[in-house]
Chains A and B, each alone.
Chain A
Amino acid sequence: MNKFLLPLGIFIVLVALLAVGLNLNPREVPSPLIGKPAPDFSVPRLHAADQSFSPKEMLGKVWLFNVWASWCVSCREEHPLLVEFGKTGTVPIVGLNYKDKREDGQRWLARFGDPYLLSAYDADGRVGINYGVYGVPETYLIDKQGVIRFKQIGPITPEVLQNKIIPLAQELNK
């Protein structure tokens, strides 16, 4: 073996790595919460400040937990999809109105449709932090035992809904 080929060998490995890297998204951070119990909390509801919501209430159901806000531009993008999906009744959707003004959130839902069973109201973003939210919208699929099974960072696309969320929800519901 010609030892002078060594630099070329190293370079080829490097190029292969970079080629693979081109297809990865460096901004997407996978959640360490998948497979873990959904963190518990208790916060007021968006539409009823005197009532509270806790994920414990959803035990025994497969449900979708969607973090949204009226100031969030991409939420507008995914919202029609959620409204449609809500109508199918596949799984209940609970919203988390994240760092929003109560009136703004209510007005936004009145205007664009409300696919949620209810929306919890996270005024100071603490629930968001416990769920590792860093870019709204984010969506979690939680099973009957209250374990997070899937997380979508950023808006849900029709492909993600059809190919990932719906099949997984149906399987968990069996």
Chain B
Amino acid sequence: MIPELGHFALMLALLVTLVQGVLPLLGAQRNQPQWVALARPATAAAFLLVLFSFLVLTWSFYSNDFSVEYVAQHSNTQLPTLYRISAVWGGHEGSLLLWVLMLTGWAQAVALFSRRLPEAMVARVLGVLGLVTFGLLAFVLLTSSPFERLLPAVEEGRSLNPLLQDPGLVFHPPLLYMGYVGMSVAFAFAIAALLAGQLDAAWARWSRPWTTVAWVFLTLGIALGSWWAYYELGWGGWWFWDPVENASFMPWLVATALIHSLAVTEKRGSFKNWTVLLAIAAFSLSLLGTFLVRSGVLTSVHAFATDPRRGIFILILLAIVVGSSLLLFAARAPKVSLGGRFALLSRETLLLVNNVLLVVACGAVLLGTLYPLLIDALGMGKLSVGPPYFNAVFVPIMLPLLVLVAAGPIARWKHAEIGPILRRLWPAALAAVLAGAGLPLLAGEWHAYVALALALAVWIAAAIVLQTVERFKTGKPTASWWGMQIAHCGLAAFVVGVAMVSTYEEERDVRMSPGETVTVGGHTFKFLGVHDVRGPNYVAARGSFELTKDGKPLRTLYPEKRNYDTSAMPMTEAAIDAGLTRDVYVSLGEPLEGEAWAVRVYFKPFVDWIWGGCLLMSLGGLLAAADRRYRIRVKQSAAATAAAAGATA
């Protein structure tokens, strides 16, 4: 009975989102306050209904209700409670329900925190979100209901893929979806502004904190996924250019362009059309990612069990949502004013260059991801596009961006001059050259690639220091200023991590008997032996390795080889000693003759800077989104502007 309640709640939610999607939009267009007033209650009702349905599914997992097919396929009684709950989003149907829950959650958040916005605007934003939710709910109900019954019920469920029985799965999908779905808010603001014919600085200011917060979630979600792959897959890699990774990276690139472009639109009223287009593109790419992951058109390590009906449904949804948005854009964009004037060299121009580079990078990733499909569709055979391609084309596009990151915040709005920029940045340039020449020698052999990367990182960091010193002379900086600098610092740290680990990492594959040692990157592992350990639903062979550096013991590491009761594939659990300047990483391979084991050890210098950099970027985003100016009441002037624009529309 309880699962049917969840199903019923979803059907009710479908009706409610239809109301939420149609009436407020019409009301705002025709000036009908009663219809406009429906927006908030309908949003709240949709959110509560979907939340209820989600909790019902969670309860089915918690109570081991194997009469629900989805539960029977993704859980079993031996699964620890934490993973029983995270298994809710361990498969297609449940993760889609999580998607919808977050969509209604974001809409509810907009409804709560938009008291200062004009009612018509709020109604339009919530209406657009309502329509998108309606489409996705229809998708869930028609093709992917998690509440389908399995009759007769089975005694025991099939359990969750052991790869997914990890704290990583508890946090990675929710964070990633928060980011993906959060792009819908920027999208809804953009469509609302286009509908109202009111594309102005006020619109940019309203949607900016939402976009930034969604971007923070997306950054954290991607970084966590990367870290998870690093420690869980046991190969020590952190990014594989897998189609599904690309599907999350493309919206990130466009969202990064968008938060920069929104800055110009808010402060200077320029690039409005471009900003709107980016907002549409960011959400479209989120939907495209959902399509790529769930339709089976591309093979990926992440692929869900596929069903062609689902692919067709999402493709139609994508075509309707994005097609109509772009049509609306084409109709409204020609009338939008150009905004403030600026010179060829100005912060506006530099931010536009940033946007061009990020969008081109996104285009390159899209091209590489879809190219095998294109060639296949044209009947020209099958080919693969993998990491060597992406590294070869992506890095050169990003290099100029790293050069400009230092100069952008220094250039003045409207009109900048090359002289003062150079005068202020020459110490940073000097530091960069010295760093490029010297630092790689400290780490090992000098390579042009790592020298360039370190020089760029120091260039960015030194420019930030210079700006901070100058800024304090003129008064206390704002939170959003700090946010920008910290995020850029994160980028520098990320570059250091990538360059160092890809150049100086060391790897050894050895056969070890107890008592033997292996040394990698100055760290010595001594193998103490393997003993069996019983986990909640697996048996593990746990190795003990004593880690020493220069004869001093550091700690003992316990990598495991797990055999889950429900799976034939043994799982490798690497053991990692993480540190600020290096990780050392050990994983057990196969047992060999006697007490010997195949063992793989890695030395990974600065690898944690990759995720540390992403954390700094996210922290910067949070600070920027928390800036006071988004919380103070919309100035009367903005309201007056809106009224004036409304009068002409």
List residues of A whose CB falls within 8 A of some B CB. Answer: 2, 4-5, 7-8, 11-12, 14-15, 17-22, 24, 26-30
Chain A residues in 8 Å Cβ range of B322:
11
A30 with B382, Cβ < 8 A, contacts A22-B308, A22-B315, A24-B376 known = yes
A4–B298 contact, CB under 8 A? no
Chain B residues in 8 Å Cβ range of A5:
330
A4 with B323, Cβ < 8 A, contacts A11-B284, A17-B373, A22-B308 known = no
Chain B residues in 8 Å Cβ range of A19:
315
A2 with B330, Cβ < 8 A, contacts A7-B277, A17-B373 known = yes
**Contact among B273, B277, B297, B330 with A18 in the assembled complex (CB-CB below 8 Å):** B297
A22 with B273, Cβ < 8 A, contacts A7-B329, A17-B374 known = no
B376–A21 contact, CB under 8 A? yes
Q: Give the docked Cα–Cα distance between A15 and B297 (Å).
A: 12
Q: Which of B13-51 contact A (CB under 8 A)?
A: none
Q: Does B524 contact A (CB under 8 A)?
A: no
Q: Give the docked Cα–Cα distance between A14 and B373 (Å).
A: 11
Interface residues of A, dominant DSSP: helix
A22–B297 contact, CB under 8 A? yes
Chain B residues in 8 Å Cβ range of A22:
295, 297, 308, 311-312, 315
B330–A4 contact, CB under 8 A? yes
**Contact among A11, A27, A28 with B323 in the assembled complex (CB-CB below 8 Å):** A11
Chain B residues in 8 Å Cβ range of A8:
323, 326-327, 329-330
| Distance in Å: Cβ of A78 to nearest Cβ of chain B | 23
Q: Closest B-chain residue to A12, C-beta based? A: B323
A4 with B329, Cβ < 8 A, contacts A11-B323, A18-B315, A24-B373 known = yes
Which one of A2, A12, A14 has the highest number of Cβ atoms from chain B below 10 Å of its Cβ?
A14
B326–A7 contact, CB under 8 A? yes
Q: Give the docked Cα–Cα distance between A5 and B331 (Å).
A: 8
A24–B326 contact, CB under 8 A? no
B299–A27 contact, CB under 8 A? yes
A26–B318 contact, CB under 8 A? no
A18–B291 contact, CB under 8 A? yes
B299–A20 contact, CB under 8 A? no
Q: Does B433 contact A (CB under 8 A)?
A: no
Q: Does B334 contact A (CB under 8 A)?
A: yes
Number of interface residues of B (CB under 8 A): 34
Chain B residues in 8 Å Cβ range of A17:
370, 373-374, 377
Q: Give the docked Cα–Cα distance between A15 and B370 (Å).
A: 12
Q: Give the docked Cα–Cα distance between A162 and B98 (Å).
A: 46
Q: Does B319 contact A (CB under 8 A)?
A: yes
Chain A residues in 8 Å Cβ range of B281:
7
Q: Give the docked Cα–Cα distance between A7 and B280 (Å).
A: 10
**Contact among B296, B372, B377 with A20 in the assembled complex (CB-CB below 8 Å):** B377
Q: Does B626 contact A (CB under 8 A)?
A: no
Q: Which of B348-403 contact A (CB under 8 A)?
A: 370, 372-374, 376-377, 381-382
Q: Give the docked Cα–Cα distance between A14 and B370 (Å).
A: 9
Q: Which of B266-299 contact A (CB under 8 A)?
A: 273, 277, 280-281, 284, 288, 291, 295-299
| Distance in Å: Cβ of A52 to nearest Cβ of chain B | 33
Chain B residues in 8 Å Cβ range of A27:
299
A30–B381 contact, CB under 8 A? yes
B297–A4 contact, CB under 8 A? no
| Distance in Å: Cβ of B145 to nearest Cβ of chain A | 22
**Contact among A11, A24, A28, A29 with B377 in the assembled complex (CB-CB below 8 Å):** A24
Q: Closest A-chain residue to B326, C-beta based? A: A8
| Distance in Å: Cβ of B72 to nearest Cβ of chain A | 22
Chain B residues in 8 Å Cβ range of A4:
273, 329-330, 333-334
Which one of A2, A8, A28 has the highest number of Cβ atoms from chain B below 10 Å of its Cβ?
A8
Chain A residues in 8 Å Cβ range of B382:
28-30
Return 19 A-B CB contacts under 8 Å, by A number.
A4-B273, A7-B277, A7-B330, A8-B323, A8-B326, A15-B323, A20-B377, A21-B373, A21-B376, A21-B377, A24-B373, A26-B296, A26-B297, A26-B372, A26-B373, A26-B376, A27-B299, A28-B382, A29-B382
Q: Give the docked Cα–Cα distance between A14 and B367 (Å).
A: 11
Q: Closest B-chain residue to A27, C-beta based? A: B299
Chain B residues in 8 Å Cβ range of A21:
297, 373, 376-377
Q: Closest A-chain residue to B370, C-beta based? A: A17
Shortest 8 CB-CB distances between A and B: which pairs?
Answer: A8-B326, A4-B333, A21-B297, A20-B377, A4-B330, A21-B373, A5-B330, A26-B299
Q: Give the docked Cα–Cα distance between A12 and B319 (Å).
A: 8
Q: Give the docked Cα–Cα distance between A29 and B383 (Å).
A: 9
Chain A residues in 8 Å Cβ range of B377:
17, 20-21, 24
Q: Closest B-chain residue to A23, C-beta based? A: B308
Q: Give the docked Cα–Cα distance between A71 and B59 (Å).
A: 40
Q: Give the docked Cα–Cα distance between A8 and B333 (Å).
A: 13
Q: Give the docked Cα–Cα distance between A14 and B296 (Å).
A: 16
A15 with B318, Cβ < 8 A, contacts A21-B297, A24-B297 known = yes
Q: Give the docked Cα–Cα distance between A15 and B291 (Å).
A: 11
| Distance in Å: Cβ of A121 to nearest Cβ of chain B | 26
Q: Give the docked Cα–Cα distance between A30 and B376 (Å).
A: 11
Q: Give the docked Cα–Cα distance between A8 and B334 (Å).
A: 15
The digit string for B167-211, where 1 denotes a CB below 8 A from any CB of A, is 000000000000000000000000000000000000000000000
Q: Give the docked Cα–Cα distance between A116 and B454 (Å).
A: 65
A26 with B298, Cβ < 8 A, contacts A11-B284, A17-B374, A19-B315 known = yes
Which one of A11, A15, A19, A24 has the highest number of Cβ atoms from chain B below 10 Å of its Cβ?
A11
Q: Closest A-chain residue to B374, C-beta based? A: A17
Q: Closest A-chain residue to B292, C-beta based? A: A18
Q: Give the docked Cα–Cα distance between A20 and B319 (Å).
A: 14
Q: Closest A-chain residue to B322, C-beta based? A: A11
Other than the known A4-B273, A12-B323, A22-B312, what 11 A-B pairs have Cβ atoms closer than 8 Å?
A2-B330, A4-B329, A4-B330, A4-B333, A7-B326, A8-B327, A15-B318, A15-B323, A21-B373, A21-B377, A27-B299
Q: Give the docked Cα–Cα distance between A131 and B381 (Å).
A: 18
